[in-house]
Amino acid sequence: MLIILSFGSALIPLVYLASTWYKDTVTASKCIAPWLIIFGNVVPAIVFPLIWGIALSINESVGIMFGSLIYILNPFATFFVNSYTVLIWHFVGKSYEEARERNEEYCLEYPNDSTCNDLKEENEIDSADVSLFSKDGPIKITLELGILIGFIQALVFLGLTILIELCRSQRFRNKSNETDGKI
């Protein structure tokens, strides 16, 4: 239940943050969908592989660092990776686990078989996780991490929205103090 609740929770405060730019509902409802599609999905999908490719060609660690930053900063990217993780583990992970169990049983039965070692190696390569910030770093990109980052993003965006609203009301108060008794 917590997974479902936290799934894409950062996207709502992002919309709230965008709502501070609009003054009327008609413009807001017309503009928000294209704005989110273009700047949330299309532009990152075009720009990200280009910059990532350039960063990888310079240095592999720079590319990984850039990818990690996009994963943390862009709530759409986090949401994409989370749903991809759920689907890939459901579709591929199950059959992979079954195959690994079968291989383990086979290797116990025939430990001297040469194909058994090959299967072991294949399993080791398949089970490698993607790390955050460095190639073999301690922090792996998992669903739990994605949900945690989603919650942090939600808090940050909500905080920014509240801060903008507070700044606006403060500006209004200052202006009204300036004109107080002068009109």
Partner 1 sequence: MKYILAMLFPVLLNFGFCATAGVFLLQPVSERQTKMKQMLTMSGMSNLYYWLGLFLADLVLLLFPFVLFFIFVLVT
* Residues near 69 by beta carbon (within 8 Å), at least 6 away in sequence: none
For the CB of residue 25, give the shortest distance to partner 1 in the complex, in Å: 5
Residue 8, helix vs strand vs coil: coil
Distance from CA of residue 79 to its chain's centroid?
5
And the tokens for 96? Answer: 């992979």
Residue 92, helix vs strand vs coil: helix
28 lies in the binding site for partner 1 (CB under 8 A): yes
Among 48, 52, 80, 106, binds partner 1 (CB under 8 A): 80
Candidates 51-59, 88-96, 110-118, 124-132 — which segment interacts with partner 1 by CB under 8 A?
A: 88-96
Cα distance from N-terminal residue to C-terminal residue, the chain: 57
47 lies in the binding site for partner 1 (CB under 8 A): no
Tell me whether residue 61 or residue 142 sits nearer to partner 1 (CB atom): 142
Among 43, 47, 84, 167, binds partner 1 (CB under 8 A): 84
Integer angstrom CA distances of residue 84 from 19, 47, 91, 134, 167: 28, 20, 10, 21, 38
Tell me whether residue 137 or residue 159 sits nearer to partner 1 (CB atom): 159
Among 47, 54, 58, 87, binds partner 1 (CB under 8 A): 87
Tell me whether residue 110 or residue 172 sits nearer to partner 1 (CB atom): 172
142 lies in the binding site for partner 1 (CB under 8 A): no
